[in-house]
Structure 1
Amino acid sequence: MILDKNFRELQRMAQDTLDDAVLIGCSEAQIREAFHRMVDALANSYGRPHRNATPENHPLAITEG
């Protein structure tokens, strides 16, 4: 999948951020809530779904690995 690299990079950055936050004394729950708020605030830059979007090529259909 095209977005596999992007998702792996995002996961790695989120993990590093979570680890750093816990090390400096933030609660894990607090950071997870901040992540949720950040993702919920994201907007589609294109304003509408892409016309070629299908369940088979959906970015969340990536495989582990």
Structure 2
Amino acid sequence: MNTRPKFPPTWRQPDGKPVSCLEKIKVLNQNIQEIESLCADALEDGVLMGCDADQIKAALHELIEGLEVPYTGKR
């Protein structure tokens, strides 16, 4: 198990400036926590069913990399 401390990132706007709205930061951090929990559950399920942990992690990485950015150019 990875025991490195987990700190939320400094959320940034497309221009590199930090997001300053505390409510937005709170929502982003909650989303990350939920995603982490879902990924951990998927990894645990897969390993318990006899799958290779590295393959499951690779599939999760591929899933994230394949996400399309919504609202591109609308701001």
The normalised TM-score by structure 1 is 0.70
The structure with higher relative contact order (CA 8 Å, sep 6+) is 1
Identity of matched residues, %? 34
Task: Please state if 1:8 is matched with 2:33.
Answer: yes
Where does the alignment leave 5 or more consecutive residues of structure 2 unmatched? 1-24
Give 1:33's match in structure 2, choosing from 46, 49, 58: 58
Q: Which amino acid aligns with 1:5?
A: Q
Per-residue CA distance 1:6-49 (angstroms, 9 max, x = gap): 0000000000000000000110010011011101100101124x
Give 4+ residue runs of structure 1 displaced > 6 Å after superposition.
Answer: none
Q: Give the total of aligned pairs.
A: 50
Between structures 1 and 2, the one with greater helix share: 1
Tell me how far apart the structure 2 counterparts of residues 43 and 13 of structure 1 sit (CA, whole Å). Answer: 20
Q: 3-state SS of the aligned residue for 1:47? A: coil
Where does the alignment leave 5 or more consecutive residues of structure 1 unmatched? 52-65
Match of 1:55 in 2: none
